[in-house]
Amino acid sequence: MTQCDIAAMKATHPVFCTIVPPHVLDKLAQADDPALAGPARRTLEADAAQRTHRRLTTVLGAPPAAPPADAAGDKPHRTLYDAQHRQELPGVKVRGEGDEPGQDATVNRAYAGLGATFDLLLKAFGRRSVDGNGLPLVASVHYGENYGNAFWDGRQMVFGDGDEIFRDFTLPVDVIAHELAHGLTQYTANFTYFGQPGALNESVSDVFGSLVKQYVNDQTAEQADWLIGAGLLAERVTGVALRSMKAPGTAYDDDVLGKDPQPATMADYVRTGRDNGGVHINSGIPNRAFYLLATALGGKAWEGAGQIWYDTLTGGGLQVDASFTDFARATVAAAHARFGDGEEQEALLKAWSQVGVPTG
């Protein structure tokens, strides 16, 4: 079992969800070139250490979060830490809410990315932070040595500086938002991090990651690239991003990294015990359903498709072990409640049908 282990998976909080899946790191760790294999092995070791740490904090209970500084909850309360290339969290505090930008571009990008995610949740959905109650947002940057990953550990975000294959993980705003959206899921539907509910957990993070990027760039669904982690892959890698919501399975095809394993439809659903039962793999299916809906509706994706996904996530009608079909049916109910029997309903049924997930 990798990434989120069995104990964690059954715990009330989904924990330690990384952006780069283990099958990619395993492949890199086997590379002939020690410059590639070394950092990947260290990243895997650091991930294993974090899992152990999280298992302990899951058992012992996490310390209570600080109360939000802004009682109204309509402003973010961000704190940035510099892990100084160590693996102890959170590290040294380097920027608090309202502080002027410093010299460190990584800190500034993470600060801005947290703010953008907070803004989308508030302005598009009227939600005050990821928990709906003004939760302070905490992130640590410069985690570990050549750490090629980023993760949400149940309490905060953590970003590595990258290695030979991946660049600084704060570069793509959708990666920052993806990690924070794991917090959103944790406080709402809380999908179990395994199999289909785990793939829904991953997909929701990709959806909100992409929405934050589109919101920051003021893009319509047609203008968006629908890529997750564009700009993250080093120049030597043959690929454009970590994942493609538009065309799952096409984000990269590289000698060292391997080929993007995501399916676009249920016909190609991958049954595997790896990657927590393929959580970063089969997420391609609901990702593409969202893309199909958003582009069919047109305009700003957070207004139609995003609203339906948000209503579904927060509606309370889903079990933590929801299947793709459970989720699809819940989106249909949410769309009906919000928009009636209009074009949204029709486009939604068509989108799920195109990816082979039944809604009837």
Reduced to 3 states (helix: H, G, I; strand: E, B; else coil), residue 239 is strand
**Would residue 142 show up in a list of annotated catalytic residues for this protein?**
no
Q: Does residue number 17 form part of the binding site for Zn ion (CB under 5 A)?
A: yes
d(C-alpha 267, C-alpha 289), whole Å = 14
Evaluate whether 230 touches 175 at the Cβ level (below 8 Å): no
Please report how close the Cβ of residue 136 comes to Zn ion at its closest, in angstroms. 21
Q: What is the DSSP string of 159-184?
A: E----SSB--TTSSHHHHHHHHHHHH
Question: 179, 182, 202, 344: which one is catalytic?
Answer: 179
Determine the interface stretch with Zn ion among 14-22, 66-74, 267-275, 315-323 (rule: CB under 5 A). 14-22
Classify residue 252 by its DSSP letter. Answer: B
Q: Does residue number 43 form part of the binding site for Zn ion (CB under 5 A)?
A: no
Binding-residue total with Zn ion (CB under 5 A): 3
Q: Compare residues 176 and 335 and give the one whose CB is closer to Zn ion.
A: 176
Q: Does residue number 11 form part of the binding site for Zn ion (CB under 5 A)?
A: no
Determine the interface stretch with Zn ion among 49-57, 132-140, 154-162, 199-207 (rule: CB under 5 A). 199-207
Q: x/- string (CB under 5 A) for Zn ion, residues 56-95?
A: ----------------------------------------
**Token couple for 218:** 């003021």
Determine the interface stretch with Zn ion among 168-176, 202-210, 248-256, 268-276 (rule: CB under 5 A). 202-210
d(C-alpha 6, C-alpha 16), whole Å = 12
Determine the interface stretch with Zn ion among 26-34, 195-203, 223-231, 249-257 (rule: CB under 5 A). 195-203
d(C-alpha 94, C-alpha 101), whole Å = 10
Reduced to 3 states (helix: H, G, I; strand: E, B; else coil), residue 322 is coil
- Using alpha carbons, select from 97, 100, 94, 134 the residue that is nearest to residue 118: 134
Please report how close the Cβ of residue 150 comes to Zn ion at its closest, in angstroms. 9
- Using alpha carbons, select from 350, 295, 329 the residue that is nearest to residue 200: 329
Task: Report, in angstroms and rounded to the nearest whole number, the Rg of the chain calculated over CA atoms.
Answer: 19
Q: Compare residues 68 and 278 and give the one whose CB is closer to Zn ion.
A: 278
Question: How many CB atoms sit inside 10 A of residue 38's CB?
Answer: 16
Reduced to 3 states (helix: H, G, I; strand: E, B; else coil), residue 295 is helix
- Using alpha carbons, select from 147, 311, 138, 280 the residue that is nearest to residue 206: 280
**Token couple for 121:** 């949740």
Please report how close the Cβ of residue 206 comes to Zn ion at its closest, in angstroms. 8
Q: Compare residues 8 and 17 and give the one whose CB is closer to Zn ion.
A: 17
Q: Compare residues 150 and 348 and give the one whose CB is closer to Zn ion.
A: 150
Question: 13, 142, 182, 280: which one is catalytic?
Answer: 280
Q: x/- string (CB under 5 A) for Zn ion, residues 203-232?
A: --x---------------------------
**Would residue 346 show up in a list of annotated catalytic residues for this protein?**
no
Q: Compare residues 242 and 355 and give the one whose CB is closer to Zn ion.
A: 242
Q: Compare residues 21 and 68 and give the one whose CB is closer to Zn ion.
A: 21
Please report how close the Cβ of residue 181 comes to Zn ion at its closest, in angstroms. 8
Please report how close the Cβ of residue 18 comes to Zn ion at its closest, in angstroms. 7
Evaluate whether 94 touches 107 at the Cβ level (below 8 Å): yes
- Alpha helices by DSSP H, listed for 80-137, are 105-125
Task: List residues binding Zn ion (CB under 5 A).
Answer: 17, 202, 205
Catalytic residue numbers, as ranges? 179, 280
